[in-house]
Structure 1
């Protein structure tokens, strides 16, 4: 790969960009499809950017288990190949728990899965219709999910493999918003999105309360980019969906999606 490619991306993204090149070359050289684990939206964007315009000799496809999926598996393949849904090897799981006596949340489920020792790339989106909770995983990990995930916090649960047609319709709480910011710094985006002071945003970041693309970032001046996903503990999530341009004062006009954390019962 031309080394000039790397100057357009963050230094820490270089290993993933090199992996993209390896996947592509492997698909072409071995003339067969290559399947990745689940990739986040930023990684999917990097694939699109690095590979660029496709030709008839090589293509890639992606799927995450349902139409609105954030995290997806990607197939790199020669041009002859036409993937079927089963080729992505994605398994739907439902979490069975005592509905009348317990309450689950996205954060609790995510924390349990990660703390089980499994890599984040082995499972995709976690979804709910407001009552039932499901997630998508790498099919080869089905036994692990079923046998190892028996508690979420103090709640006894069972993980049950399900057919894709049983996927719930997710309750979509994402809100599309516009935002004008003075810079693409992490502390600026956090402060302006959640209407808190820059100093408080800086404190949250330095206290390891903020993640970018599911990785804790402790530098307030970290520069954000297109399709980055932020998670701010006790506040919610933010995705940078589009950079619409700059104002006359050189401020950035952004299109973002927000998933704000609802206050607990009894709190304002």
Structure 2
């Protein structure tokens, strides 16, 4: 089955090929065993790839973010007979308890602890949800006890993690602003520079130093052409999407509307 569709690769960027290989292996497993498989956490771009493949191979697909509000999600691929049980996503919601009267934990502090201090694979946890006095983490249920046992301090603040019902998930909203910009081309470096009011040299340095992602993949090519709805993330500055092309200025520059999301 897989060999028949090697032409699939021409429809995806080089950065997607590794994930595409893994996705095709999962699809092959569903077809061979005629049973469901559930992924680790994937980002929205990867979930979209899985949806395209599932439709192509006539499999059912369920994405957890459609049932529990989140950006990162777990995905179920299944044959036609399968009926969804939400427990099959193998999700767990952990509440981060800490002395909020004296401290306020940030998304970056929690993320840094999970990734750097414990060296966890990014695929083992999903969204980190933060409000003024509360914080939660969506995790792969298989690793629940590991999180509870090993995360006892975040940014020098003592914490305990406790499993709670998924119905208690925080509904956080990322703030965003629209902005009109002019660029001579749709190159990544020029869009980053114009959106965040940086020099093109600084924008290029950020890209070369691997601090810029496009659709969640690190990109080190300043000349990459960006399209509508592509998500560009720049460390310490925030994220943006090109939402609308508004023609050209008298000098021949692209007139664009971008949506800028605040940095987490």
TM tier, shorter chain?
0.7 to 0.9
Q: Which residue of 1 aligns with 2:202?
A: 200
Does structure 1 conserve the Cα–Cα contact (< 8 Å) formed by 2:212 and 2:235?
A: yes
Distance 1:168 1:207, change over 3 A: same
Aligned to 1:33: 36
- Per the TM alignment, residue 164 of structure 1 is displaced from its structure 2 partner at its CA by 1.2
Q: Does 2:11 correspond to 1:8? A: yes
Other-structure match for 2:70: 69
Alignment of 1:15-164 (within 5 A): 15-52=18-55, 55=58, 58-64=59-65, 67-115=68-116, 116-164=118-166
2:167 matched to which residue of 1? 165
Indicate if the aligned counterparts of 1:42 and 1:228 stay in contact, CA closer than 8 A: no
1:183–1:252 CA contact under 8 A, matched in 2: no
Unaligned runs of 5+ in 1: 263-268
Deviations 1:143-172 (A, max 9, x none): 1111111121222211211111222232x1
Matched residue SS, 1:81 = coil
Unaligned segments of structure 2, at least 5 residues? none
List per-residue Cα deviations over 1:149-199 (Å, max 9, x = no partner). 1121222211211111222232x1332636555444332232222222222
Query: TM-score, normalization: structure 2?
Result: 0.84
Secondary structure of 1:18's partner? helix
CA deviation profile, 1:78-104 (whole Å, cap 9, x unmatched):
111121111101000111111122221
Name the residue aligned to 2:247.
247
Change (3 A) 1:258 1:127: farther
The CA distance in 2 between the partners of 1:7 and 1:186, in whole Å, is 21
**Cα shift at 1:246:** 7.1
TM-score where L is the length of structure 1: 0.83
SS at match of 1:100: coil
1:73 Cα deviation (Å)? 0.6
Counterpart Cα distance in 2 of 1:4 and 1:203: 35
How many equivalent pairs are there?
256
1:195-230 deviation line (CA, Å, top 9, x unaligned): 222222122223443344555443323444566544
Q: Could you say if the C-alpha distance between residues 177 and 51 of structure 1 is closer, same or farther in structure 2, counting changes exceeding 3 Å?
A: farther
CA RMSD of aligned residues (A): 2.7
1:265 corresponds to: none
Check whether the contact 2:64–2:74 (CA below 8 A) recurs between aligned residues: yes
